[in-house]
A and B are shown apart, each in its own frame.
Chain A
Amino acid sequence: MRAKEIRELVKIVEESIIGELEITYWWGRKIRISKTATGGSSAKHSGIEIVTTSTPKAEGHISAPAAPVVDAGDKSGRSDNLLEIKAPMVGTFYRAPSPDADPYIREGENISPGKVLCIIEAMKLMNEIEAEVNGKIVKIVADNGQPVEYNQTLFLVEATK
């Protein structure tokens, strides 16, 4: 497979919420492109991992980190009671109930159980995600109108008793 084709496939995976794309040719060659969360303790980055094989064993392994999509780092001020609210499903992340409406929540605002934080839309299902804890939104990690993956961090919350 030519580099140009691989680049096109990477672009498709990158711009979608597909977690992994695997293509197997009849002569046994296989290409797998998967989005992975890489990075150390200080920062998380969304990356693209490409594995091409012509046998069942991995032959080439190119790791091409993309621009950081998620930066949940918060290196200095990370306290013990900082919670991550994660996406329970894949879909499009919306901060407001409709395009013209005010966002459900802003950074710095307090939340309590039952407070709607966002909508994740998948297949015309509008999923309102509610808070489970008392606390304060420290950071809104996901971008409005952008796809989110299962278990991707959406909000950082400083929990209170």
Chain B
Amino acid sequence: MIRPVTLFSPLIGRKIVLYDTVTSTNQVMKDFAGKGEEEGLVVIAEMQTDGRGRRDRLWHSPRGKGLYVSVLLRPPLPLDQFGKISMMTALALVKTITKITRLPAAIKWPNDIFVQNKKMAGILIENSMTTTSLNSVIVGIGLNVNLLPKDMPEDLRAATTSIAIVLGRTVDKDEVLHTLLKEMNRLYYKLIRRQDAAWLIGAWQGACAHMNQEVRVSQNKYSFEGIFRGVDGSGAALLELPTSATIAIQYGDCTLRMP
């Protein structure tokens, strides 16, 4: 740990703990969450040795180049509604990237963030719960800020981008963080305060990269092809099948490809 910092922030980021090197910020946050830390805690690291995506996929996290952030939340939502946190975080990233780069950013279902058709940010949310009640929601965010192609593994270069790559110059990482936390605070408050999900669905769909396009969603051994018609309030994908039936896809080893 470098130092804990206290900021004047309404909730998310009112306490921030900075690290130099961690295995992953989510892992560190799990320990904090287990010790009963309050909602809003933010963990940031300069470098992750074991940054992860889902099911152990590596998130490349070179020193000082990216934003590696975890946020602790304890939202008063039903256990099957945490997709809203994923939607909200994706939206906060889209807003942040757009503000900093002046370029449109888009969400690929469920929550990858793309700029100029290349991945710029990823989200991994890890919840801890019993079958009846929530302990914690840990929102892990990896945002490529000042990574250049030379900082990326060769096999990722074609499909990955960063703020520095699209702008042609490096940016102040703290400014990016500040913008991100501000957006997350704003959206989280709205999410908790508002009963309806229409605004969230509308905003998410407005930022989606593939609305009303033909897509394929893979689930384990099966895949569905159809027209992506958006999401429902829980974040499930609404796919219109060739039979004209629309199904909600909520789970799975979901990859989404343009056929």
Contacts and interface: CB of A to CB of B under 8 A. Distances in A.
A21 B241 CA distance: 11
A124 B123 contact: yes
Given A99-B55, A132-B131, A126 B79 contact: no
Interface residues of A, number: 39
B259 to A, nearest CB: 18
B82 A92 contact: no
Nearest to A122: B251
Given A16-B222, A99-B55, A122-B250, A89 B80 contact: yes
Contacts of B247: 16, 18, 21
Contacts of B13: none
Given A21-B247, A89-B79, A123 B86 contact: yes
B101 interface: no
B124 A126 contact: yes
A91 to B, nearest CB: 4
Interface string B130-146: 11100100000000000
B251 A86 contact: no
Contacts of B124: 124, 126
Interface in B52-73: 54-56
B253 to A, nearest CB: 7
A86 B86 CA distance: 24
A86 B250 contact: no
Contact of B131 (A22, A85, A123): A85
B56 A98 contact: yes
B129 A129 contact: yes
B82 A125 contact: yes
Interface residues of B, number: 40
A132 B251 contact: no
A57 B55 CA distance: 46
Contacts of A123: 83, 86, 110-111, 235-236, 250-251, 254
B17 interface: no
Interface in B30-87: 54-56, 79-80, 82-83, 85-86
Contacts of A12: 222, 224
A86 B129 contact: no
21 contacts: A88-B129, A89-B79, A91-B251, A92-B252, A98-B55, A116-B128, A121-B252, A122-B252, A123-B250, A125-B83, A125-B85, A126-B54, A126-B125, A126-B126, A128-B127, A129-B129, A129-B131, A130-B130, A132-B130, A132-B132, A147-B251
Given A123-B110, A124-B123, A147-B251, 20 more contacts: A9-B243, A15-B220, A18-B247, A23-B243, A88-B129, A91-B251, A99-B56, A116-B128, A122-B83, A123-B86, A123-B236, A124-B125, A125-B85, A127-B79, A127-B82, A128-B126, A129-B130, A130-B128, A145-B220, A146-B220
Nearest first, the 4 A-B pairs at minimum CB distance are A98-B56, A123-B110, A122-B251, A91-B251
